[in-house]
Amino acid sequence: MTAATVIACPACGTRNRLPRAATGHPRCARCQTDLPWLVEAGDHDIDEVVFSSRTPVLLDCWAPWCGPCRSIAPLLERLAASYAGRLKVVKLNVDEAPGAAARLGVRGIPALFLVRDGEVIEQLVGARPLPELEAAVDRLLAAGH
């Protein structure tokens, strides 16, 4: 995995390097629009990317062979865009990061963990519709107020 992802700003199209871990949240270098924060993590950097994040995190434990995981992937991309500046979506491939998956107690996928201030606030297992995912993210964001 690379240390950053490149994403085009939805407002102006400028290509921005998006770090997996940062102290704030990503904004476009040109227009300062909040960017959707969708990154990957693995065994070696899950603590830095997820559990040390100041931004609330939706952690998606998935695998490429999992049909339900593939079905919710576009929904997670939508959440990253809808909650830009307020939510970080992190993808953890359980086949490539078995240590992190075991540490989290993942027994079924997709497994979604909602994390705030280094603590798991809620866990969802299985594919969920967008309204249910939005409600879970809203609860996560409200937990910090």
Q: Give catalytic residues, as residue numbers.
A: 66, 69
8 A C-beta contact, residue 88 and residue 118: no
Q: Are 61 and 104 in contact (CB under 8 A)?
A: yes
The Cβ of residue 123 has, within 10 Å, a number of other Cβ atoms equal to 16
Q: Convert 59-77 into a string of H (helix), E (strand) and C (coil).
A: EEEECCCCHHHHHHHHHHH
* Residue in this structure with the two tokens 């995981």, named with its chain if needed: 69
